[in-house]
Amino acid sequence: MAETTSDKRRRGAESLRLIGGLIALGSGLLVIGAIAAAAIIADNGSANSIATGAFGVVGSIVGAYFGVKIGSDGTQAAVQGQREEAAKAQVFAAHLSDGKAEVAIRQALEAAEQVKPKP
């Protein structure tokens, strides 16, 4: 199956989002590290508390980033699976005899309406 322009754009947008997220994560970590290093140099006596606070913030940021990333990837996989199943169902319906195809399509539309979330 040939890749469409829409698929190429979607893939490009996903890679750009991934790279942008990693750059933002890296930049944030560098800034926090620089602030912690400057605070340790300025007041050597409180290095332990500064390092503890900085590690807590870094751990929170990294955990949040990868948590959101994993959730986003799971959603994309679910949507792709749904698209594949819909395509299979359409092909199966297309191979039915003329009279049964219309009934199958109508029943499929009714079933889709029943599972649609209500506002």
Residue-wise pLDDT tens digits, 52-99:
787 788 778 878 887 777 777 778 778 878 888 787 777 777 777 777
Burial of 107 (0-12, 13-18, 19+ CB in 10 A): exposed
pLDDT given at position 119: 67
**Spatial CA neighbour of 76 closest among 13, 119, 24:** 13
Residue 2 has pLDDT above 60, yes or no: no
Span 98-112, average pLDDT: 77
Query: pTM score, two decimals?
Result: 0.46
Residue 31 has pLDDT above 80, yes or no: yes
* Three-state secondary structure readout of 36-79: HHHHHHHCHHHHHHHHHHHHHHHHHHHHHHHHHHHHHHHHHHHH
What are the boundaries of each domain within the chain?
Answer: 8-115
